Structure 1
Amino acid sequence: MGRPTAAATALLCQLGLSAAIQWLGLADSGVAWNESQHCRLLLPEQLQLCRRHLEVMPSIVRAARRTQELCQQSFADMRWNCSSIRGAPSFGPELLTGTREAAFVHALAAAAVAQGIARSCSSGELPLCSYIPRVPLGVSPWGGTRREQTQLFPCALQVLSDSLDTRCKCHGVSGSCSVKTCWKGLPDLGEIASDLKSRYLAALKVTHRLVGPRKQLIPKEEDARPVTEMDLVYLINSPDYCTPNPQLGSLGTQDRPCNRSSAGSDSCDLLCCGRGYNTYTEEVQERCHCRYRWCCSVVCRRCRRSLHRHVCK
């Protein structure tokens, strides 16, 4: 696996301080990003980076798309379902302030781009990489404010590092493993998203304390555990996301499908915030009574059945 050189690491830093997660707006751009003139479509603070490092843009676009997909998949069963991320680069208040939702999105985006650039390095797409058999542990390319968001980057990259698995290939006569080559492999980004969601659920509320000329993050609650680089942190409490409130970034949960038999976050009780739900019945057709016919096909009948759907009031 290729490792970004100092030049690549410097690039990651610059990306992090340039328009923060507004880079996620590239997910649906529909632009090839293979000519410098395309850079004029970006925000002013992104323009120069694009022109200087055009070859990195495809990796960033892929990472932006994957971040949007995984965020919505990870929170599909919760009141906040990350649907607002589709508005990038225009975000709601919940992603522009120091909420735990913002912490998750920043951290996932950081991991997505770090992984994307690492894989582009290993495939030879990026000339600013060297190729030595070590896994990249650079500075995260997505940022928010310099104080609290830098806490999210070590967390994202530590998750990336801790998730590495060892992969080996055997070399020998008749498949013997007399000689074995092993390397560290990057995990699937879905596994990283799952890990980060667990950290989101256990996120620490923090405040700033002045230590000399610098500010340090400390837990808001006196009896809370100390903040580590593995923690996601947040500064302000999130709304309950039950009812629409544009000022807080809440879209509400009205008309969201819920699971009447679940006891989890997707249950009709929790997802509908106690407002109740409506039940709808619809007829669906599906394949049934399938049998194998020699040779070689499967023949099925078409059956109708009633499907019950539950939707929050």
Structure 2
Amino acid sequence: MAIFIGTRDGVYRTATVPVEDVEQVLDSGDTPRVRTFPEVDGVFAATKTGLYRSMDEGQTWEDLGVPQEEVYSVVTSPDGERLYAGTHPAHLYVSTDSGETWDELEGFQDLPSRDEWHTPRHRNEAHVRSLGVHPDTPDRVIAGVEVGGVHISADQGQTWTERRDGVHDDVHHILVLGADEYVASCGDGLYRTRDAGQSWRRLDTELDHRYFREAFMFDGRLYAAAARSSPGTWSGEGGADAILVESTDSGETLETVSYPGGPAEIILAWTVVDGRVLAGTNDGKLISRDSDGMWTDAGQVPEGIRSLKGC
């Protein structure tokens, strides 16, 4: 077993939960995504210094040479033939030869709202923060842009349709639950669609905390965490002032639960290890959900956690 931990200082690896030994295996700087895919071999790390892949459980890494250096998201097609990468500034690239060469999906730049994708805190630019594909709709690519909304392609990324009406445009993550069902975690709210983004329903209307970073589903239970406000407020005396919520009805009702590190630390990443949900916080804490539904301390890494993947 290996657990890969994307942090603000690169990728770490551990083999145990609770964590006893943790080793930095990639000095890549900020790493928004660490992912594996059943269709292709290797571990992928989307980082602000490039998209890397390891074929030997993190011992060595290869920079796949995406044309834009800052890579925020990565996904493969269900057949493994196409590898997509989303970058900052907000561009999309595809490789059909396992990352040897890349082509830009130029249709992504033709979306009507493209000129609106920018925010001062990201150098007046935007990035493709999240990418998703579902096996039942293999040619459909779902892209979440921070700041720019949700957009969908039905033809492997060649042409695009905006699906941003009804969802906040500060999109941090899109959880693909089914062919047409997604949950979007945004800077102002948690949203669900059951018609591939043609309409959205806000799920967090009963909560006081509105800044969501990433949702996760395992064994029929939806998990999400939210801070009261954006990261610029997390360094004060109360920290992030965050909550953890769980739902057994796809977000129709959200139950707030306690967790180690809360409310000062916010959960930013999720994975499953040996049938249990493992989560990571902005201060580098790992926590695990036991069989009784309680969250317990599972160790610490040296940097704030951005992404997790158990293999």
TM-score (ref. length: structure 2): 0.25
TM-score (ref. length: structure 1): 0.25
Between structure 1 and structure 2, the one with the greater Rg is: 1
Higher RCO (CA 8 Å, separation ≥ 6 residues): 1
